[in-house]
Amino acid sequence: MIREFRPDVVASAWSGTASDGHGHHQASGILTPEAVQAAADPKRFPEQIKEGLLPWQVKKLYNRTRGEDYTVRFETGVADPDLGTSYAQFGIEGYSQQKSQNASFFPARPGPNYRPYKLVSSSLPRELSANEHEHDFFDGIDTSLSGLAGRLGEEQSRVPFLLPALKEIDQDFDQAIAGRAPEPLLAAGERLSQIIPQVEQSALSVAAKQDLLLNLKTKSQQLEEATRLALGLDFHVTRDKPSQLLVPGETATLIAKLQNNGKHQVQVKQIVLDLPLGWQQKAVSKFVKVLAPGESTSIQFQVAVPGNAEITRPYWHRNEPDKENIFTIDEPRYQTLPVPPPPVGAHLLYEVSGKAGFIHSAAVAEVDGKTTNLAVVPAFSVLMQHATEVVPLGRKTGIEENVIIHNLLATSAETTVRLQVPVGWQAQPASQKVTFNQAGEERTARFEVEPAASNESRTQIGAELEYKGKKYSEGFSIVGRRDIDTFYYYQPAVQKISVVKTALPENLKIGYLEGAGDDILPSLQQLGLDARLITSDELAHGDLSHYGTIVLGIRAYDTREDVRTYNQRLLDFVSRGGTLLVQNNFDVDAFNAGKYTPYPAQLSRQRVSVEEAPVEILAPQSAIFNFPNKITPHDFDGWIQERGVNFMGQWDDKFQPLLASGDPGEIALKGGLLQAKLGKGTYIYTGYAFFRQLPAGVPDAIRLYVNLLSAGHER
């Protein structure tokens, strides 16, 4: 990324020490200086050098610091007139949108809000004295446009045209700013468009040319947008219907429109769609060639999407997300981008006062009031209803397997759906017809599968749809929010099967209060346990006594006001003889302030991140490790992702710690599984990551979880 972006300055928010707090923060602080060093070393990642991505020496590296030991600091508490708020407040508003981490809004502290940075390394010739402060990250670096010529050193003589041209462009910029006029920007754009091909054909070294062209082309893109804004031009390309999804083999209508909101007459020279190779376009209308202020023009295109069009999807994947920590890169050309660029765009060539300009735009669709880039998707999305199915060993009855199918074709379609099952298993029916009448329809193909497993095992069931001789065996989910971009997450139409040998308690009714991102309940039902959802109304007013065990899903106290409000009803349920299983919560301060536990206890952020970390059973005689399944240290083999999060840090003596585990080199933590008696019942808190293990079908974790549900009901 550094070699491609070629930054003058890198500023790291983290130091790579324990003061960073979170492990990801520390890793970032460790990797940043290593990456800066590696980017400049031609012996590191030589495959990049062969591909033409040359080394790059960052001029200055900074780390965030604290106190007065800083090189430069920024006052972020000052209000910015364009933002309408301070930089600190604006940053906090952004942070509060981190919904997946339960971030909440809090006001920035009043007064000065300094962000200090320490210079860690510099390749500049001038060294700072011990206590010398800088005014800016770029102190000592010429960031002017004409300064690009000075970067060439002795090679500047190979491009004698460059410095005079850059100085003229700088003057154009000054005139545009002083007069708030677009004409100087148009002149600058023309000069820049002449310089770039001259540099490309010059005798500069490869490294010098690469750096110079990157800067010139970036400046050209910025200049294009600045000129558009100065002229008051609005150019966009929109699909004629509210769907951003394009299907290979179909035709779509796009409308390109230019609105002149400025004060200048604009001559429209050309409007062209920018399409991938193999796509076809045809203009089916004409545009007005001269626009007076306030006028607009549009042109309509018919676009034929080829049958082999590239699908819009991430350029990276993991075959086993539960086990693989590293993504596989499928398209290296995109690997410094978050996602691949949109497939369809357009550009417009115009003239104002005899000077030419360009505007580029991505093609979009208006969907539910949100503008979304067009995307190419397969004709059918095929997904299994559940990612994992837990099957108790010896099950005699059939398993209902549902295949969820979305039709994206604009026409009616008759398809055939089949299941692929393990050897010896049977699917009924063997195949079935599924008919669609229009685009966007969803159908569910229902099968019954008879298992035939003689021992505990892991296998899978797959689904396949056939239409006109072509087979589809994957589906996608649309991922996005109204305030961010939209993209598409693909999954194979495969359901993992975990055949589990476990004893189950008899006649135990289990009530489940869902938390956030909680998929444990389906696993319990698949096992054959009598488990069902407790509604909010039932929690508030219903009779809970017909349950033997009630489970609080992960982060239930974080996300559910009713659970916080009626916590005493849950504790009363325990006192009368029930079992309450409470799973981890994230908001430590709020949980501790709520005093939700029957006896004093303090939740912490302690966790065990290594899923293979040894686990010690502290109370092997406890019924939790003996009924209805015998649990040994081997029952912690094969766990995924992590041992657990948000263990209790302190607890009253009435709690009994049952397990101990710790990451390598750290002390073993005992607050991950606590049990206490309350009246006639049993209260259990666990931070162990059952919310990951059960949906993934980890057999050993399932047996332990069944035992937790059975606690207090041994007779």
Which pLDDT band, with edges at 50, 70 and 90, does 396 fall under?
confident
DSSP state of 521: H
Distance CA 219, CA 189 (A): 9
pLDDT one-digit tens code per residue, 232-277 = 999 999 999 999 999 999 999 999 999 999 999 999 999 999 999 9
pLDDT at residue number 101: 65
Q: How far, in whole angstroms, is CA 301 from its chain's centroid?
A: 34
Which pLDDT band, with edges at 50, 70 and 90, does 37 fall under?
very high
For 372, residues 6+ apart whose C-beta sits below 8 A from its C-beta are 244, 364, 365, 366, 480, 485, 486
Measured over the CA atoms of residue 255, residue 256, residue 259 and residue 265, the dihedral's sign is: negative
Residue 102 near residue 558, CB atoms below 8 Å: yes
DSSP state of 144: S
Share of the chain above pLDDT 70, in %: 99
Distance CA 174, CA 141 (A): 21
Region 628-643: mean pLDDT is 95
Which pLDDT band, with edges at 50, 70 and 90, does 21 fall under?
confident
Distance CA 529, CA 510 (A): 8
Distance CA 550, CA 533 (A): 10
Residue 48: which of 95, 105, 108, 1 has the closest Cα? 1
For 89, residues 6+ apart whose C-beta sits below 8 A from its C-beta are 107, 108
SS3 534: coil
Q: Checking phi first, is residue 13 left (phi over 0); if not, alpha (psi -120 to 50) or beta?
A: alpha
pLDDT at residue number 100: 66
Distance CA 211, CA 152 (A): 9
Residue 410 has pLDDT above 70, yes or no: yes
pLDDT at residue number 105: 65
pLDDT one-digit tens code per residue, 69-115 = 899 999 999 989 988 889 998 888 888 887 766 666 667 777 789 99
SS3 48: helix
SS3 47: helix
Cα(first)–Cα(last) distance of the chain, in Å? 62
Residue 103 near residue 96, CB atoms below 8 Å: yes
Q: Which domains occur in the chain, in start order?
A: 1-76+116-138 (3.40.50.10320), 77-112 (no CATH), 233-376 (2.60.40.10), 380-499 (2.60.40.10), 502-710 (3.40.50.880)
Task: Report CA-CA distances (Å) from 24 to 19, 104, 312, 669, 687.
Answer: 12, 20, 30, 21, 20
Residue type at 704 in one-letter notation: L
pLDDT at residue number 107: 72
Region 295-306: mean pLDDT is 97
pLDDT at residue number 187: 96
Distance CA 270, CA 299 (A): 11
What is the phi/psi pair of residue 712, to 5°? 85, -5
Residue 318: which of 481, 489, 459, 457 has the closest Cα? 489
Region 423-445: mean pLDDT is 95
Which pLDDT band, with edges at 50, 70 and 90, does 19 fall under?
confident
Which pLDDT band, with edges at 50, 70 and 90, does 484 fall under?
confident
pLDDT at residue number 94: 84
Helix H or strand E encompassing 116: strand 114-122
User: pTM of the entire structure?
Assistant: 0.88
- Tell me which residue has tokens 């910025």: 222
Read off the tokens for 414: 């008759």
Distance CA 674, CA 644 (A): 13
Burial class from Cβ neighbours inside 10 Å (0-12, 13-18, 19+) for residue 184 reads buried
CA-based R_g, the chain, Å: 31
Which pLDDT band, with edges at 50, 70 and 90, does 127 fall under?
confident
pLDDT one-digit tens code per residue, 501-556 = 999 999 999 999 999 878 899 999 999 999 999 999 999 999 999 999 999 999 99
What average pLDDT is seen over the chain?
94
Number of helices and strands in the chain (H, E): 16, 42
Task: Report CA-CA distances (Å) from 17 to 13, 20, 123, 331, 645.
Answer: 12, 6, 24, 34, 21
pLDDT at residue number 128: 85
Residue 58 has pLDDT above 70, yes or no: yes
Distance CA 218, CA 143 (A): 14
Residue 499: which of 386, 388, 638, 393 has the closest Cα? 393
Residue 306 has pLDDT above 90, yes or no: yes
Burial class from Cβ neighbours inside 10 Å (0-12, 13-18, 19+) for residue 260 reads buried
pLDDT at residue number 468: 96
Beta-strand ranges (E) seen in 221-353 are: 233-239, 245-246, 251-260, 266-274, 280-283, 290-291, 296-304, 316-317, 328-329, 345-352
